[in-house]
A and B are shown apart, each in its own frame.
Chain A
Amino acid sequence: MNTAISKEDVYSILEKVSDPEVPVLSIIDLGVVRDVILSDDLVEVVITPTYTGCPAMDMIEVEIKATLQEHGFERTKITTILSPAWTTDWLSESGKQKLREYGIAPPQGAAKSKRALFSEESGIICPQCSSTNTEMVSQFGSTACKAQYKCLSCEEPFDYFKCH
């Protein structure tokens, strides 16, 4: 392997790997890449799952390996860690912007306990018309990371990438 390769180079290659369920986000935007370890001719990428049952994770592993191979890295290893657990606090600012442009409301505020009964995240900004006059339809959406909301101003339904 080219010894001039740095961690940053690997990170920028990983920017090309997108989340299969929200393809505007790279896995770097998503915050699932926790570390890159370079040793001899091996590139080890340490990742953490978003949700335990997220079917995208298996796909992401395959894509990381394939993308690194395209860039000349023959020996790669993916290590999955569970702790510390992933949180939407790790979503990058550019990732949030990309979500908004894609029509998904990005998480607002920091992840905290959702234990309170009937509590829902309010004042979520509609990605269509930017109104905050919105309400939750269901805390479970089309994928594990999203909740269903509707906008009372433009009357469009939308996905909210919920705080987790």
Chain B
Amino acid sequence: MKDHLYNFLLHLGDNALVLGHRLSEICGHGPILEQDMAMTNIALDLVGQSRNIFQYAARMKGGDTTEDTLAYLRDATAFKNVLLVEQKNGDFAKTILRQFLYDAYNYPLYKRLMNSSDKDLAAIAEKSIKEITYHLKWSSEWVIRLGDGTEESHNRMNNAIQDLWSYTGELFKYSDYEISCHESGILPDLNGIAEEWNAEVKNIFAEAGLEIPEKAWSHDGGKRGVHSEHLGFLLAEMQFLQRAYPGQEW
């Protein structure tokens, strides 16, 4: 088994699953019905994408590993998602900004993964890209609406930027497995993705009347399993059923 590919798959699957779970927490609590439905639709897409990735990872691992054991029976230190996606929902501005910062990274990433040297991963990316395109469109529109909205919504966007900006640097910092994947043609150059991300964020922020913060210190660790305290609480809820009643089925 190629360990670097397996770890990279967990990283991709964990990003999608953790953000999907965060968005699912909003189900029934959205600011208006249409946007409640939008966020739960996006949650569904992300959880679906994580399933495709975990199914592939489980085939690679073999033995008793399944998509369910990967989602429900790993501890926080085994999760490889970036710290950005585990941050709490906060107010609507923060939920939107977290989504936008992530979508603006995910879109160029998956676009490139469609040409990955790993054919299974390329097929997953091809299947996911149209959904990710919808997500980015939706979150971009809301960043503009809130940034260029009322004084209240504009201030809330600025607070969200303060809260989340230091989690964006990690997106483009190579982990060991990403370096190996890059060397074997599985993963494209993160610098190219960073350039596209920077251009997208600059563009949308300009239209929203929002300022990009000065370059500052950034958090990292998520890709190698060092998480903020939020992930443990998230997993406690997400994994409760399978931990309390192992093997339970619908």
Chain A interface (Cβ < 8 Å from any Cβ of B): 49, 51-55, 81-86, 111, 113-115, 117-118, 137-142, 144, 148, 164
Contacts and interface: CB of A to CB of B under 8 A. Distances in A.
A84 B48 CA distance: 17
Q: Categorize the interface residue count of chain B.
A: 20 to 34
What is the predominant secondary structure among interface residues of chain B facing chain A? helix
B34 A138 contact: yes
Given A52-B49, A53-B44, A53-B47, A84 B126 contact: yes
Contacts of A144: 41, 44-45
B35 interface: yes
Interface of B: 34-35, 37-38, 41-49, 51-52, 122-124, 126-131, 133-134, 136-138, 140-141, 144
Given A52-B52, A82-B126, A83-B127, A139 B134 contact: yes
Contacts of A113: 133
Given A82-B126, A83-B122, A138-B34, A117 B48 contact: no
Nearest to B41: A140
B45 A164 contact: no
A140 B37 contact: yes
Contacts of A139: 38, 134, 137-138
A164 B130 contact: yes
Contacts of A53: 43-49, 51
B126 A83 contact: yes
A137 to B, nearest CB: 6
Contacts of B35: 138
